[in-house]
Homo-oligomer: A and B are copies of this chain.
């Protein structure tokens, strides 16, 4: 990071009617998508753009007020926008280090729904305002539909018959005939429930707050989970990883599932006892598992999850769509307007969510 000292601009900021210039930290790829939309703020923000080598540039020029103050001047303030471009950049460490060095981080927008990562927890403590995003939910919901249709239509058997040039007529089960238990009925759960309902499936959502929801036929609270597990043809984990949800899908969980049902995890690998899952697949209790997340990522070569014939594994990519990035950008730009207008942010995460 090429921080430098600049002279104290406090005087300037106090001049009535003159907007305070704010630094905006953002990844290069993200900036390319939103630069045009940021132009109306050109008199108020000075972008600092990081590339995949971790180099920082000032594409709109390095105005004095736009220089990185290294925390030395209280007068300079900043904004940061953390996206998948940054989180999956080889220079992700530099991105976070730069963010920690930003003076007076007033607003941080994350592209992630989750806030449990230690880096995000630390940023949550530093930032005056923190907003999360559920813009990945639609992408993940489509991934779940892919996995669900693939299972209930038995794509693997179809491909095997094609490979064998065998005109073998196999029937399949309509997803309209299936009952889904969606554990965690937040952004991802609701977007998935909405689509499954539209396809005619039965949807039960599980969330602590209970109540009812347009995107599910039934909402239950976690104390009803044990009774609901045997009723579902497919069980989806879309719950955050917390001390309460850690290892929640273990031996007794799989034993309670309806025999020959589908298990899907788009939450976090640490929700699942993977040995217990493998045992449940081997015994036939669980027919198939579709996993976008595993306990150790990247999954080491040789791990049985790679090769198990009843597991579909993708490498944490269920949200990796251009459309999810565009939706997150749209959210950030909306929140940027609200931030400057002094209005409450969409998806604001309360300070109390970031523990010491």
User: Known contacts A145-B145, A146-B149, A149-B142: does B165 contact A323 (CB below 8 Å)?
Assistant: no
Stretch at the interface among A203-211, A293-301, A330-338, A339-347: A293-301
A156 closest partner in B (C-beta): B159
Q: Does A56 contact B (CB under 8 A)?
A: no
* Contact between chains at A299 and B167 (CB < 8 Å): yes
Q: Does A172 contact B (CB under 8 A)?
A: yes
* Contact between chains at A174 and B298 (CB < 8 Å): no
Q: Does A316 contact B (CB under 8 A)?
A: yes
* Contact between chains at A198 and B198 (CB < 8 Å): yes
B residues near A146, Cβ cutoff 8 Å = 149-150, 153, 155
Contact with B along A299-320 (1 / 0, CB 8 A): 1011000110000111111001
Q: Does A90 contact B (CB under 8 A)?
A: no
Q: Does A199 contact B (CB under 8 A)?
A: yes
* Contact between chains at A323 and B138 (CB < 8 Å): no
Q: Does A117 contact B (CB under 8 A)?
A: no
Q: Does A200 contact B (CB under 8 A)?
A: yes
Candidates B155, B165, B299, B314; contact of A306 at CB < 8 Å: B165
* Contact between chains at B313 and A172 (CB < 8 Å): no
Q: How many copies of this kind of chain does the complex include?
A: 2
Q: Does A170 contact B (CB under 8 A)?
A: yes
Contact with B along A144-184 (1 / 0, CB 8 A): 01100110010100110110010111111111110000000
Q: Does A322 contact B (CB under 8 A)?
A: yes
* Contact between chains at B317 and A138 (CB < 8 Å): no
Candidates B167, B312, B323; contact of A177 at CB < 8 Å: B323
* Contact between chains at A314 and B158 (CB < 8 Å): yes
Candidates B139, B199, B317; contact of A142 at CB < 8 Å: B199
| A142-B176, A165-B299, A167-B297 known, 17 other contacts, Cβ within 8 Å | A138-B174, A139-B172, A143-B153, A149-B149, A149-B150, A155-B155, A158-B314, A162-B314, A167-B315, A168-B315, A169-B315, A169-B317, A171-B317, A173-B322, A176-B323, A177-B321, A198-B199
